[in-house]
Amino acid sequence: MHTDEPDGADGSQDAAFHWLFGDQLGPHFLRPGATVVMIESRAVFRRRRFHRAKAHLLLSAMRHRAAELGDRVRYVRADTYREGLDRAVGDAPVTVHHPTSHAALRFVRSLPGVRVLPARGFLVPFEEFGRWAGSTGAGRLRMEDFYRTVRRTHELLMEGDRPVGGRWNLDADNREGPPRDVEVLPVPAPYRPREDAIDAEVREDLDRWEREGLVSFVGRDGPRLFPAHRAEARRALRTFVERRLPTFGRWEDAMLGEDWAMSHSLLSAPMNLGLLDPAECVEAAEGAYRAGRAPLNSVEGYVRQVAGWREYMWHLYWHFGPGYRRHNALGHHGRLPEWFTSLDAGAVEARCLSTALAQVRDRGWVHHIPRLMVLGNHALQRGWDPRAVTDWFHRCFVDGYDWVMLPNVIGMSQYADGGRITTKPYASGGAYINRMSDLCGPCVHRPGDRTGERACPYTAGYWEFVHRHRERLAGNHRTVRAVRQMERLPDLDDVLRAAGERGPDDAP
Ligand SMILES: Cc1cc2nc3c(=O)[nH]c(=O)nc-3n(C[C@H](O)[C@H](O)[C@H](O)COP(=O)(O)OP(=O)(O)OC[C@H]3O[C@@H](n4cnc5c(N)ncnc54)[C@H](O)[C@@H]3O)c2cc1C
């Protein structure tokens, strides 16, 4: 575990320069009086095949920030960070707030002139998490316990020492399927930014780099859907809290084929770029509840996501350390097929997977249920390599960063850590997708069919998964029943035979 320098305690306040990474773009990342340094590294995009909308958003956000800072910033376009820093400041001392990945932290620590200041952009400081983790002894680091501690410590939705409304957890009120007979939810549209000259310039650069063969992207880019500067991010937060938060809880887990945004906030990208501080997001949501403008189930649900899940994942990333990415408890080594990596939704018949893949292709974003129960669930059932799955999510999602991908994909979605984050694998059959969406009705597959022409790949895939890991699952009190059920299936042999006849690259 690492420690942070308190702001200025080492004399670093005297450093004339302060470096901002591309995900440190809000006012809370500045150091008063220091000249800002920003480095646009081309190597970052050359190394991996990112979604083009993600590359566009990141570069647009950095260049918007530079334009706002004007002559207070030295903005360098370089091949690598090392070269950029050298060009920006030479040997002069520099401060930087704690970066968000192990690799970036290692790198800044290796540079003699760079001082690392405390992390910004999260509610809970490292010391506070450390105290909480220490207080649990050798026991599990449960999200629910952590979340309640955060609620108390930061006085979020509290009445004295009790949770507002008497209950800590209103999840049970937030699991409704979508309304019937609608194609899109009856909720106001999300905030939509308007592109400007900076966006156009970034797009021209990306086109040129692609033409010159310097980089290669996946997915479609534009028009931009997510905020790229502080004013847009504030407007997006206001639109969400005033217009969409009231219905957030109710349909938090639901999916509709024609409604990509549902009632979600779409604020993960600006929060992860550092354009919004989580404190202002949860305070705005709580304010709406206190003013009687949003119901408690929605507000608690949102606060749980931001003050609970987001903080918990951030701290587990550091707590588990860099070796966490190598976990592969289920021994999955399958490679990701081309149709998946290239986001070829047209190659897929299963409507839920085809829809989710098309949404990723078109926007670089889907909400948490398609991530977990459609995309991640399929990868888990097919036994794809968890590290490759993590890399895919990281490259293809506009809000994907190492710190948030590792715990969410290695832990939550792929169970590659053997259960350090979730108590059982998130594998499920078509029945769940059918209950929570309108996707199964017109699908060529039937969620109830395990075998035959119209067998649902999720339902068949679920039993195949249970069979493959029957020994491990039989030893877990949360999954032993699934193993017993699987053993009683009259057509298990047929399910397994069909799975055996499938090629590793076949799309469902
Ligand atoms: C397989 C998988 C991959 C994911 N990858 C990412 C990712 O790369 N980046 C990312 O920010 N979130 C990720 N998440 C979490 C979650 O899906 C997204 O935060 C959310 O869908 C973003 O959309 P939103 O802003 O509309 O969220 P909302 O549904 O409106 O939720 C509110 C906020 O809660 C936070 N949040 C909720 N759950 C999580 C979580 N598990 N981890 C971190 N923050 C959370 C986000 O900041 C989000 O903006 C992932 C989840 C899964 C299951």
DSSP state string for 430-457: HHHHHHHBSSSTT-SSBTT-SSSTTB-H
SS3 category, 76: strand
Ligand 1 and 316: CB distance under 6 A? no
The residues near 342 (Cβ < 8 Å, ≥ 6 apart) are 218
pLDDT for res 504: 87
Cβ–ligand 1 contact at 309 (below 6 Å) = yes
Nearest-CA residue for ligand 1 atom 13 is 404
Distance in Å, CA 131 to ligand 1 centroid: 25
For residue 222, how far is its CA from the centre of ligand 1 (angstroms)? 22
Is residue 51 within 6 Å of ligand 1 at its C-beta? no
Q: How far is C-alpha 426 from the chain's CA centre?
A: 16
Helix orientation angle between 143-153 and 311-320, rounded to the nearest 10 degrees:
120
Encode 181-195: b = buried (16+ Cβ within 10 Å), e = exposed: eeeebebeebbebee
- Report whether residue 245 contacts ligand 1, using a CB cutoff of 6 Å: no
Query: Is the CB of 305 within 6 Å of ligand 1?
Result: yes
Output the CA 40–ligand 1 centroid distance in Å. Answer: 26
Q: Is 265 in the pocket of ligand 1 (CB under 6 A)?
A: yes
The protein residue whose alpha carbon is closest to atom 46 in ligand 1 is 268
Residue 307 Cα to ligand 1 midpoint, Å, equals 12
Nearest residue (by CA) to ligand 1, atom 3, is 408
Q: Which protein residue's CA is at the shortest distance from atom 18 of ligand 1?
A: 368
Query: What is the whole-number distance in angstroms between the Cα of residue 70 and the centre of ligand 1?
Result: 32
By most ligand atoms within 8 Å of CB, the mutation choice from 147, 262, 399, 421 for ligand 1 is 399
- Encoding tokens for residue 302? 């949102």
Q: Which two tokens stand for residue 448?
A: 């109830």
Q: Whose CA is nearest to atom 41 of ligand 1?
A: 309
- Distance in Å, CA 194 to ligand 1 centroid: 24
Which domains does the chain possess? 12-117 (3.40.50.620), 126-191+227-320 (1.25.40.80), 326-501 (1.10.579.10)
Largest CA distance in the chain: 74
H or E stretch at 481: helix 480-488
- Whether 466 lines ligand 1, by a CB cut-off of 6 Å, is no
What is the C-alpha separation between 310 and 317, in angstroms, rounded? 11
Per-residue pLDDT tens digits for 134-184: 998 877 899 999 999 999 999 999 999 999 999 999 988 999 999 999 999
Residue owning the nearest CA to atom 16 of ligand 1:
368
**What pLDDT sits at residue 237?**
98
For the chain, residues with pLDDT lower than 50 are 1-11
User: What is the pTM assigned to this prediction?
Assistant: 0.96
Can you give the pLDDT at residue 20? Answer: 98
Euclidean distance between the first and the last CA atom of the chain, given in angstroms as a whole number: 43
Measured in Å, residue 402 CA sits from the centre of ligand 1 at: 13
**Closest to 51 in 3D by CA, of 391, 332, 287:** 391
Residue closest by Cα to atom 10 of ligand 1: 399
Centroid of ligand 1 to alpha carbon of 202 (angstroms): 26
pLDDT digits (tens, 9 = 90+) for 10-66: 445 578 999 999 999 999 999 999 999 999 998 888 889 999 999 999 999 999 999
For ligand 1, atom 26, the nearest C-alpha belongs to: 266
Ligand 1 atom nearest to 426, measured from its CA? 53
